[in-house]
Amino acid sequence: MAITKKKNGKYQVRVYVGYDHITGKRKTKYVTCETMREARLKEAQLITDVETGELVPDWDKSKVQKHYTFDEAYEEWFDIYKRQGRTESTVEKTKYYFEHYLLKPELFGGMYLERMTRKEVQKKVNKFIPTLVTSKTILSYAKTVINWAVDNEEIECNDNPLEHVQMVQAKKMPKRDVRYYNDHQIKLFESGVREFYNNEPAFVAIYTILIRTGMRIGELLGMKWKDVDYEQSIINLHGRMSLVHGVGKYEHGLKNGDDSRTIEFDKTTFNCLKVWQQEQRLNTLSQGKPITRDDFIFNYSRDTVVSRLNAFYGWYNSSHSEMLPYLNIHGFRHTHASLLLSNGVDLKKVAERLGHKDITITANIYADVTPKARREVADKFSEIMGDNV
């Protein structure tokens, strides 16, 4: 406790009020007064306030909890979330979930978190979950926001009602005819693609690369000519084309977090790329804008690749005696992996080629790889038992 006269002629009162329990540093209250008499009176008052408990250090004060709405909690949580190094496409997808579902009155928009009862939340969840295939994923974001508010003691409750709701059955994904092609079907598909796109080498190259490398559609559309090494027959992937606000945007790095991945390609892929590069070179030269190594190999959107694939199926199944079941774009990646695995290629090598961070991801996806592989398992067991086959 002390009173000192400052250079400006005023008097500063300094009174010790305690120690910070976390840092251990001594804390002092300062007050400036005009006269010595006023300073002495203020000093006496502060000492009394400390002794009677009227003057409580900030760190000893109870935290004032807010009556938070779900929307307010989301705004604060999302401000941190978007600055944690996630890709722009991931951040935009998360924002979409909130703006189109979670912040709507039908779910949690405008609700005070401390007033959310399990019964009320359960009713909302029961109505929402069956409406979407991704409903449970969307609700997991809501749970994260509420946990964040509870952990930061921002609301007057110590529990998250979403931790206790019973999850009803979500909307099921429509069952596809096939998840991937067998070796006979994929040969029919390749033959049909060369026939249908006889004068469009770009699309021959697109579907050939998807089939024969197993790369993702975003990786394919993010390829640049400098990524192709013809001498070693390899493609060095460094980025991908992601959807941001429904528009393709190039992002450095790959989906699994790796900076790059190298994929070896075969002679058929080599020839398709060469033919398309020559076609593109002639087209751009005629326009006075020759292609460079930094140009994208395929300047098409995902929608275009998908719509042209649908057009192919319509043509093929109306003009051939043997029908090809519809397979979506990602199905070519599944086809590539399943054919490799069912023909004895090591699981670890397939995982590396697909760009799976963990081999268990590949194992889980292709646990039932193909009928051919399942037959081999049964036959192997019979062989072990010494049966006469």
Residues 6+ apart with CB under 8 A from 166: 122
Beta strands in 238-343 (DSSP E): 239-244, 247-252, 261-264
**Whether the model pTM is above 0.85:** no
Contacts 24+ apart (CB under 8 A), 273-280: 273/205, 273/209, 273/228, 273/230, 273/297, 274/230, 275/201, 275/204, 275/205, 276/201, 276/202, 276/204, 276/205, 277/225, 279/201, 279/202, 280/202
Name the 3-class secondary structure at 224: strand
Check if the beta carbon of residue 234 is closer than 8 Å to that of residue 213.
no
Phi-psi region of 212 (alpha: psi -120 to 50; beta: other; left: phi over 0): alpha
Residues 6+ apart with CB under 8 A from 143: 160, 162, 163
pLDDT of residue 19: 66
Angle at 105 between CA 99 and CA 106, to 5 degrees: 95
Domains of the chain: 2-60 (no CATH), 70-163 (1.10.150.130), 183-372 (1.10.443.10)
Mean pLDDT per segment of 10 residues, for the chain of length 389 residues?
83 78 68 88 83 62 66 93 84 91 94 87 93 92 90 69 87 77 93 95 96 94 95 93 75 84 94 95 88 93 92 93 92 90 85 87 71 63 68
Residues 6+ apart with CB under 8 A from 181: 189, 327, 331, 335
What does the block give as tokens for 21? 């329990």
Residue 286 has φ and ψ, to the nearest 5°, of: -65, -25
pLDDT of residue 213: 94
